[in-house]
Chain A
Amino acid sequence: MAFQPIATTRTVMGMPTARLAIWWLVVSEIVIFGGILATYLMHRLGHPEWANYAVHTNVYAGGFNTFVLLTSSVFAVLAHDAASQGDGKKAAKLLSGTLVCAVMFLCIKGYEWSVEISHGYTITANGFWSFYYTAAGVHGLHVIIGGIIMAWIAKDAYQNKYLHRVELVGIYWHFVDLVWIFLFPLLYIAK
């Protein structure tokens, strides 16, 4: 096992250090996504013409992606449940379910974007599309990074190592899901 200082094992605040850190990470992500969403929202309210651009988003693809992400989240929380019972193999299998959902999400996103770009709705077309690609792109980046970390953790969990990390990556993953829950109505539904 890698060298671990005594500091890491202390729990003065009554919770494991890593979980504490994950919550701080979530706070710092709240303000990053909050900044994007708040600026998007104020532009949207100040630009009545954007409603005419928003109709060209694919609500069905977006809705299906919401479904995919919710499914990935339930896999992640079931994996946490399995890990907390010490069943690393089951946790790893459930995490790979999350990963399949993540890949599906990205594929649908890729399909959506390629259709939109082929119709001329590129990131430079106008303000709405700039925000559309930026917000969804930053979110997609989080999906990719989270997926890579999750694959790594699933590999360890399969050998019953570092099972506490399953919960931590789960908290992060649910947060990414949460961001999408707000992005979906803001980008797709509001007309």
Chain B
Amino acid sequence: MGSDGESHAAHYKKIYVILLGLLAVSLIGPYFGEKFDMMWLTLITAFGIAFVKAWLVLKHFMHVDVERPFIHYALITGVGFMVLFFAGVSPDVMKHEGTNWENVGAKAEIARALAEAEAGGGHGAHGEAAAHGDDADAHDDAAEHKAPAH
């Protein structure tokens, strides 16, 4: 029993090290993704890795793999309903105009904020570039040449 438990603990520590490695990747990946303007690298390292981490936690820490199947179905249904929610709502919320309506306020807000960022002066409602130093400026560059792509 003791040795069995020991191996459990060792297993958890191994998973922990893997998780920390993945965390490092998810921090370094987007850094390079931004530096070299590789959107896909950011997406894969930030969000793809998040799913891998989530799966590791679910399987090894929450032991979801040894639960009865209906637990899996319940969890998947919960997530599935959220995907459904996103699919049903995003056509109305992501866009700012539709049949017989236009979200004038939102469009104006986007235009105002983008113009402000283009001018390089402000960050949203308040300009605090100095407080962030070089790092913030580097981000600004990235943001500026990404903005027209939208």
Instruction: Find out whether the CB atom of A120 lies under 8 angstroms from the CB atom of B86.
Output: no
Instruction: Find out whether the CB atom of A48 lies under 8 angstroms from the CB atom of B150.
Output: yes
Once A35-B82, A70-B16 are accepted as A-B contacts, the answer to whether A178 and B75 lie under 8 Å apart by CB is: no
Nearest B residue to A175, CB-CB? B62
Stretch at the interface among A106-114, A138-146, A183-191: A183-191
Chain A count of residues within 8 A CB distance of the other chain:
62
Quick one: which of B15, B75, B82, B114 has the most chain A CB within 10 A?
A: B82
Nearest B residue to A190, CB-CB? B46
Tell me if B93 is interfacial: C-beta within 8 Å of chain A: yes
Once A70-B16, A73-B61, A125-B124 are accepted as A-B contacts, the answer to whether A34 and B26 lie under 8 Å apart by CB is: no
Min C-beta distance of A174 to chain B, whole Å: 5
Tell me if A5 is interfacial: C-beta within 8 Å of chain B: no
Residue of A48, A77, A175, A181 near B53 (CB, 8 A) is A181
Tell me if A104 is interfacial: C-beta within 8 Å of chain B: no
Inter-chain contacts of A177 with B (CB < 8 A): 57, 61
- Binary per-residue interface labels of chain B (41-59) against chain A in the complex, 1 for a CB within 8 Å, 0 otherwise: 0100011001001100110
A111→B98 CA distance, assembly (Å): 42
Inter-chain contacts of A191 with B (CB < 8 A): 30, 34, 42, 139, 142-143, 146
A52→B124 CA distance, assembly (Å): 7
Main secondary structure on chain A at its contact with chain B? Answer: helix
- Binary per-residue interface labels of chain A (72-116) against chain B in the complex, 1 for a CB within 8 Å, 0 otherwise: 011011100100110000000000000000000000000000000
Inter-chain contacts of A49 with B (CB < 8 A): 109-110, 113-114, 117, 124, 147
Partner-A contacts on B (CB < 8 A): 1-2, 5, 8-9, 12-13, 15-16, 19-20, 23, 26-27, 30, 34, 42, 46-47, 50, 53-54, 57-58, 60-62, 67-68, 70-71, 74-75, 77-79, 81-82, 85-86, 89-90, 93-96, 106, 109-110, 113-114, 117, 123-126, 128, 131-132, 136, 139-140, 142-143, 146-147, 150
Partner-B contacts on A (CB < 8 A): 13-15, 23-24, 26-28, 30-31, 34-35, 37-39, 41-43, 45-49, 51-53, 55-56, 59, 63, 66-67, 70-71, 73-74, 76-78, 81, 84-85, 119-121, 125-126, 128-129, 170-171, 174-175, 177-178, 181-182, 184-185, 189-191
Given contacts A14-B68, A81-B8, could you give 13 more A-B pairs where the C-beta distance is less than 8 Å?
A23-B71, A23-B75, A31-B78, A34-B79, A49-B113, A51-B147, A52-B124, A52-B143, A53-B124, A55-B136, A185-B26, A189-B30, A191-B139
